Structure 1
Amino acid sequence: MSPYVSYAVIIFILCSLVYAQVYRASSTTKRINLSSSNEIRNLLDPPTPLAEQLTARATSNARLMRAFSIHSTFVHGDIDTHTTFTKAAVELISRHRLPWTLFADIASNVVDAHLHRLSSVAFDTFISRITLHVVIVGLLQLEPSFYKIDPDDLDVVAGNINRLWTMSKTTTEIPSHMLAEVNVRLHRWLPTYSNPIEFVIPVYETLWRVIAVTVALNHNRSDVRAVFAAFLSQPDSRRYHYIPDGDPSVEVVMQEVLRLYPPTRRISRTYTASDFNLKYLPSFLAQCMTRTITQVADIEALQRDSVWGVDVNDYDPMRHLPQRCGEAQRRTLLAFGAGKLTCVAKTWAPHAAAVIVATILDRVGDGDKTEFEVVAGGGIGGRSGWDGWRIQRVGRGEEIVG
């Protein structure tokens, strides 16, 4: 190679490196928020191979691997991990393994165990205890002796999961003792699982806020309480979908809760992109001329789209009846995602949440016919924001006893 060619190559490389740095520095579009139905569906159900979709999801969820030391399909992009985890999850929620009548019995026993000595407790603490306890017994253990789990231990696990989830969004400096406190308890309860938190988090995180919101919105509605009472006596699919004359079905109640308060408000996918054809560039140069882009599907905004009418922000289960809910409305309902990575518990989770809600409403009411009542706070919360809400034994006032 002549010296002139060598110089030309060197100059080309140097110029390319300089341009690449300028290109990356000027590429400020790293986060793109999506709120329209077509945009979000294209993000969640793209015409790309499964492996690419898994990688895009895993990259977006890297913070969860750091916070919880999980290695499931949510944070790993390989197909084998996805297949193994999905198969195990489907088996756990199988109706053959866990019929709805058995699940309802478990929920009833858990709720009774926690109400037995209860005087008064914060509403979100009670709901998170019940949900986590039912997940441990109903899905992962199926051992009656575990009805006696110490509420304080449940509070540590639920509270630390909540705090770790929140911290993972804002910092990489996460205290190691918080996860250790969770894992030591989960391993004690679930000794056959190598990393039980990988199965606990997806179910618990999906269910507990949905259950909390459903109880909060309906504890003083006699029509909904009656429908859920009938459902608890026969918690199968037929009763779940059954529409009484003039009253909402259990299904439409859960659909409306999920519409207004989706358990996952935003779904992200992260990938690399470039404005240039990098096919013929050396790999180190190509890498310099790519950028990382995160697209964020705003599920909460989509499900409150104006297509639902002027009362879009109001809680109205009856809007999901067939005569009021057409294709335009149904296309906005993406609480469990879309495409190849749709949540495997899309059908199971609302039904399971409804069973637990029915059990709670059967024991806890507005103080007229039950021994316990819901005391409402200022507004509907989520992961936090439940100030003033509590569950208390009728006539026990402000005393807080876990």
Structure 2
Amino acid sequence: MSKTASRAYPNQRLQIVFGIDNAFTTTDFKRRMRFKGIASRHLKQFDTEWRSAGEDARFFVKQRLDQAKEGVKVAPLIQVLALRLSLQAIHDVDVTTIDDDDLSFVAREINRLWVSSKKNSTLEHWSQQFKLHGALDALCPDSECSIPEKNALNLILPSYETLWRIVLRCFMEVAFCEFTDRKVLWRMRLSKFLAEPSFTNLEDRGEWGGSIYDVVREALRLYPPTRRVYREFQYEGRAERELVAADIECLQREHPKNRQLSEKDDPVFHPQLWVRHEAEMNEGFMPFGRDKFLCPAQAKFGIWAIAILVASLTVEVGTAWQLRPNPVTRNAPLETDREAYLNLVLRRM
């Protein structure tokens, strides 16, 4: 089969469950390239909006924390935060005018349907998701949920679905690690980047030697947004296709050179490795894919989106909130299962 078809066939369940037709599901090479071009243009046009996006994200987090009586579930908060940024960047939506209930419902339903499609042999059908259609139509009036090529989820899924999980884990590692001095330093660096999003503030290593760029890359190494990549192959003389998985998460964590770089007492989440061994760390590093299937977000958007959202959360949470329970430890990576940490709560000190 062609490379496009080899990737598309394992994703057929997404067409059934979400009613989409995008680069991940089509077997048409030209259709895939058109979709990639559209996504790339949207992301590039967003380059002038990072400051306002950061201000909006910080205000939204502050508002949610101020309204909290007993605590705030951190995963749903980050899901909505990531969906807002996705709508801003991909669909040019003014998120200050949309209904928070619609946002929360869409974020929650996307995650529920995704998990259900992985666990159950009988798939829920997109044509029956009437309430989700209505919420999406309210958020993106230019989309048509009943037409796969015009479904807003074509662009929302690859931007939002991969973003919220890496933001959650990067935020947890940065804001709730055991090292008080690092937490203070990271908060200062993130605050500076949030106030003035620039390559200088993203990549500044200062006296400590670790930049926000290093922090984000280390989070992407340990917690790649796509943990496994699936392909189907058709071999000559065999009627059935074979499904093969590449374990990106294992590759990035267990790359032979990476194992040799870390000292015995180094923590698992260790951005300093990028300062000491950047060339070696880049070997086997592919959180945005590789070659012909390189994600358009790799050029800039992916790193900046993670940094902006983690910064807005870390700065607003500050030292006034605790994560309960706190699963962050220096000796082991966080869980990467999609349903892990959905019930963690931020509570006031």
TM-score (norm 1): 0.74
Q: Which moved more, 1:213-222 or 1:382-391?
A: 382-391
Aligned partners of 1:240 and 1:251 also within 8 Å? yes
Match of 1:391 in 2: 346
Does residue 334 of structure 1 match 2:286?
A: yes
Does residue 364 of structure 1 match 2:317?
A: yes
Q: Deviations over 1:270-294 (max 9, x none)?
A: 12112x5xxxxxxxxxxxx433122
Q: Deviations over 1:368-389 (max 9, x none)?
A: xxxx554443353442221662
Question: Which amino acid letter does the alignment assign opposite residue 74 of structure 1?
Answer: F
Residue 179 of structure 1: CA displacement? 3.5
Q: 1:176 to 1:290 in 2, by over 3 A?
A: closer
Question: Which amino acid letter does the alignment assign opposite residue 43 of structure 2?
Answer: I
Does residue 60 of structure 1 match 2:10?
A: yes
Match of 1:233 in 2: 195
Question: Which amino acid letter does the alignment assign opposite residue 142 of structure 2?
Answer: T
Match of 1:35 in 2: none
Does residue 316 of structure 1 match 2:270?
A: yes
Match of 1:351 in 2: 304
Match of 1:14 in 2: none
CA distance in 2, matches of 1:114, 1:215: 17
Q: Deviations over 1:3-26 (max 9, x none)?
A: xxxxxxxxxxxxxxxxxxxxxxxx
Of 108, 122, 135, 1:159 maps to 108
What count of residue pairs does the alignment treat as equivalent? Answer: 323
Match of 1:131 in 2: 82
CA-atom RMSD in angstroms:
2.3
Please identify which structure carries the higher helix content.
2
Does residue 218 of structure 1 match 2:171?
A: no
Question: Which amino acid letter does the alignment assign opposite residue 113 of structure 2?
Answer: L
Aligned partners of 2:46 and 2:89 also within 8 Å? no
> What secondary structure, in the 3-state scheme, does the structure 1 residue paired with 2:220 have?
helix
Aligned partners of 1:270 and 1:295 also within 8 Å? yes
Match of 2:33 in 1: 83
Question: Which amino acid letter does the alignment assign opposite residue 91 of structure 2?
Answer: L
CA distance in 2, matches of 1:313, 1:270: 37
Question: Which amino acid letter does the alignment assign opposite residue 320 of structure 1?
Answer: W
Q: 1:207 to 1:134 in 2, by over 3 A?
A: same
CA distance in 2, matches of 1:315, 1:64: 33
Question: Which amino acid letter does the alignment assign opposite residue 385 of structure 1?
Answer: A
Q: Structure 1: which 5+ runs fail to align?
A: 1-50, 277-288, 396-402
Q: Deviations over 1:228-250 (max 9, x none)?
A: 11111211222212212114201
Of 236, 240, 244, 1:295 maps to 244
Question: Which amino acid letter does the alignment assign opposite residue 391 of structure 1?
Answer: L
Does residue 205 of structure 1 match 2:161?
A: yes
TM-score (norm 2): 0.85
Residue 198 of structure 1: CA displacement? 1.1
CA distance in 1, matches of 2:169, 2:203: 20
> What secondary structure, in the 3-state scheme, does the structure 2 residue paired with 1:77 have?
coil
Aligned partners of 1:224 and 1:247 also within 8 Å? no
Percent identity over paired residues: 24
Q: Which moved more, 1:56-65 or 1:95-104?
A: 95-104
